[in-house]
Amino acid sequence: MKAIGLIGLLFIGTLAFGCNDESSQNQGGSGGSGGNSTSATSGGSAGAGVGGSTSSGETFDIIAALTAIPGMEIESDNDTPAGHFFDLLFEQPADHNNPNGQTFKQRISLIHRDVNAPMVLGSTGYALWVYEMEPTALLDANQLIVEHRFFTPSRPDPADWTTLRIAQAAADHHRIVEALKPIYGAKWISTGASKGGMTSVYHRRFYPNDVDGTVAYVAPQSYGDADPRYVDFLNSVGDAACRSALQDLQVEILKRRPAMIALAEAQAGANTYNALGLDGAFDFAVMSLPFAFWQYQKSSLCASVPPVTGTDSQLWDFLDKVSAVDFYNDELFYFFEPYYYQAGVELGYPGSDYSHLDGLLTLPLDADRAKTFVEPGPTKDIVLNPDAMIDIANWLAAEGTKTMFIYGEYDPYSAAAFELGNAADSYRFFVPGGNHGSEISDLLPADQQVAMNALGSWAGQMPKSVPPERLADDRNARSRRFFPHR
């Protein structure tokens, strides 16, 4: 099971903006429920006007501007040292091909600093996890983060899953840009990490002029329902001794199934495992161990891989740290279901080779497929459209412009890094030894300068230096986001 990029802790909350408990049960929290939490709809008011000044020097009332947008609601707002934070709802068509039909409310967070500053349009590709994205910090920009359609509560009811397509999500972003560009007239930069980075690229493909540049972090471009490039990558990444130790550990953990299941039961608490079964959840956690290790850990952890002679507790503790069984509980199964549906119908999915575990699993060796993690139901048939990702690749190579891709050398998703082709004013960088949390700030100095210059040229202002403590906070957040591991 590998929803791109999120391991273990899903509930990020915010770095500086608080957390809205009312809507955070299955998401990372929408942020902003601080002392000024209010609610307003179009034409109403949610507090005193804020927002700096216009180019003529007049005070700008951002609340009045937001509430004047048709279909926009302010759920809450909170004035923070980092900017004025808003929880927003924006009415969207469930099907952009039928704009007068069913609608749903899509959650958005806004960090408002100054209408004359750049705007960073961020996507998580999942729920509304709120944090200050790297381009936002580098540019001291305003920031929007959009919850992806079908991640609750941003889901039509009833839900027609055939409208969960990349073109529909791109149209969601396009309407948000159209609504807010009259307020924020400076340059726009789109960004996201992992599935969020993919989402930002798809948006550019369908609406290339909505933003002035795109920075996509650790975003893969997979082909087919079992892309073999991932298998080749895991067979060659890092140190051979470390790869061998991880495989040996997988085998030993499975041989100790009764003891490991007992530990899983003791840990379960209120978690349930009806969708996959506890044995199935355990199998997936062990199957995912090497992928998750290289995705999120540092290579220095190779020295801490327990030997096969270790105690049950030592083996369990390592598995729990790297590829936790409780990641496969029912709550998270249903939380990530929209991703797996997308992977099954358009996005593609990593291939795998578990032949060394043959005879030790309760699951078939080919169980790790996107469709395994989608509960059958009306409009939820899983039939892959291989042309969807080919179209994205062809567009980028022939017509793409002002795009930047950041990857980690050891991250398995780098196996499917986007190819630039003839994309203009575009860049691709790899962080040496980097994992799925790699960013511009991790690049070697020469590459970092090229990346900063490109971002500055797109945004109309040069990025600033970021304090080390800000980067530390960001790393804490990005270590718990993006796709789930397998």
Read off the pLDDT band of 23 (50, 70, 90).
very low
Residue 199 burial (C-beta neighbours within 10 Å; 0-12, 13-18, 19+)? buried
Asked if 233 and 417 count as a contact pair (C-beta separation under 8 A), the reply is: no
Q: Are residues 71 and 125 in the same domain?
A: yes
Contacts 24+ apart (CB under 8 A), 236-240: 237/294, 237/410, 237/412, 238/294, 238/299, 238/302, 238/410, 239/299, 239/302
Which has the minimum average pLDDT: 57-66, 316-325, 376-385?
57-66
Tens-digit pLDDT profile for residues 103-126: 999 999 999 999 999 999 999 999
Residue 232 lies in a domain: no
CB contact burial 393-408 (16+ within 10 A = b; e otherwise): bebbeeebbbbbbbbb
CA 378 to chain centre: 27
pLDDT score of 82:
84
Question: What's the pTM?
Answer: 0.88
pLDDT score of 476:
56
Residue 77 lies in a domain: yes
Q: What is the DSSP letter of 227?
A: B
Mean pLDDT (whole number) for 475-480 = 50
Domain boundary among 344, 373, 402: 373
Type of residue at 173:
H
pLDDT score of 117:
97
Residue 383 lies in a domain: no
Q: Would you list the DSSP string of 412-477?
A: GGGGGBPP-TT-BT-EEEEETT--TT--GGGS-HHHHHHHHHHHHHHHTSPPPP--HHHHHHHHHH
- CA torsion through residues 133, 389, 89, 478, sign: negative
Q: Considering the chain, what percentage of its residues have pLDDT values greater than 90?
A: 82
Residue 3 lies in a domain: no
Residue 359 backbone class (left: φ over 0; alpha: ψ -120 to 50; beta: rest): left
Read off the pLDDT band of 470 (50, 70, 90).
low
**Residue 145 scores a pLDDT above 90:** yes
User: 83-93 and 103-112: which strand pairing?
Assistant: antiparallel
Residue 394 lies in a domain: yes
How many domains does the chain divide into?
2
Domain boundary among 373, 403, 430: 373
Q: Are residues 70 and 193 in the same domain?
A: yes
Q: What is the DSSP letter of 126?
A: S
CA distance linking residue 12 with residue 33, whole number of Å: 15
Structure tokens at 214: 């795109």
In 3D space, the residue among 198, 88, 231, 93 whose CA is nearest the CA of residue 156 turns out to be: 93
pLDDT score of 3:
57
Q: Are residues 367 and 394 in the same domain?
A: no
Tens-digit pLDDT profile for residues 186-220: 999 999 999 999 999 999 999 999 999 999 999 99
CA distance linking residue 153 with residue 265, whole number of Å: 30
Question: Which residues contact residue 414 at a Cβ distance below 8 angstroms, ignoring those fewer than 6 apart?
Answer: 218, 220, 233, 407, 408, 430
Q: Are residues 204 and 244 in the same domain?
A: no
Mean of all residue pLDDT scores within the chain:
88
Read off the CATH number of the domain in which 74 is found.
Answer: 3.40.50.1820
pLDDT score of 97:
98
Cα torsion 53, 58, 64, 66 to 10°: value is -40
Domain boundary among 334, 349, 373: 373
Higher pLDDT, 80 or 262: 262
Q: Are residues 341 and 270 in the same domain?
A: yes
Type of residue at 181:
K
Q: What is the DSSP letter of 101?
A: S
Classified as helix, coil or strand, 333 is helix
Residue reference for tokens 């960001």: 474
Q: Considering the chain, what percentage of its residues have pLDDT values greater than 70?
A: 84
Establish how many alpha carbons lie within 13 A of residue 169's alpha carbon, considering only the half-sphere containing its beta carbon: 32
Tens-digit pLDDT profile for residues 406-437: 999 999 999 999 999 999 999 999 999 999 99
Which has the minimum average pLDDT: 51-60, 126-135, 143-152?
51-60
- CA torsion through residues 42, 44, 47, 48, sign: positive
Q: Are residues 105 and 139 in the same domain?
A: yes
pLDDT score of 480:
42
Residue 268 lies in a domain: yes
Helical H runs in 256-364?
257-268, 278-287, 289-296, 312-322, 330-335, 337-342
Mean pLDDT (whole number) for 22-42 = 31
CB contact burial 281-316 (16+ within 10 A = b; e otherwise): bbbbbbbbbbbbbbbbbebeebeebbeeebeeeebb
Question: Which residues contact residue 135 at a Cβ distance below 8 angstroms, ignoring those fewer than 6 apart?
Answer: 120, 141, 189, 191, 215, 455, 459, 463
Residue 8 backbone class (left: φ over 0; alpha: ψ -120 to 50; beta: rest): left
Read off the pLDDT band of 52 (50, 70, 90).
low
Type of residue at 411:
D
CA distance linking residue 57 with residue 454, whole number of Å: 30
Beta strands in 124-177 (DSSP E): 142-146
Q: Are residues 219 and 255 in the same domain?
A: no
Residue 7 lies in a domain: no
Q: Which domain holds residue 284?
A: 238-373
Tens-digit pLDDT profile for residues 342-398: 999 999 999 999 999 999 999 999 999 999 999 999 999 999 999 999 999 999 999
Q: Are residues 395 and 369 in the same domain?
A: no
Q: Are residues 363 and 403 in the same domain?
A: no
In 3D space, the residue among 218, 197, 153, 203 whose CA is nearest the CA of residue 410 turns out to be: 218
**Residue 484 scores a pLDDT above 70:** no
Q: Are residues 70 and 213 in the same domain?
A: yes
**CA distance between the termini of the chain:** 3
Read off the pLDDT band of 472 (50, 70, 90).
low
Q: Are residues 339 and 209 in the same domain?
A: no
Helix (H) or strand (E) holding 215: strand 213-217
Residue 230 lies in a domain: no
pLDDT score of 130:
87
Question: Which residues contact residue 387 at a Cβ distance below 8 angstroms, ignoring those fewer than 6 apart?
Answer: none
Classified as helix, coil or strand, 367 is coil
Sheet of 213-217: strand order equals 72-80, 83-93, 103-112, 142-146, 119-123, 188-193, 213-217, 403-408, 427-431
Q: Are residues 160 and 297 in the same domain?
A: no
CA distance linking residue 66 with residue 458, whole number of Å: 26
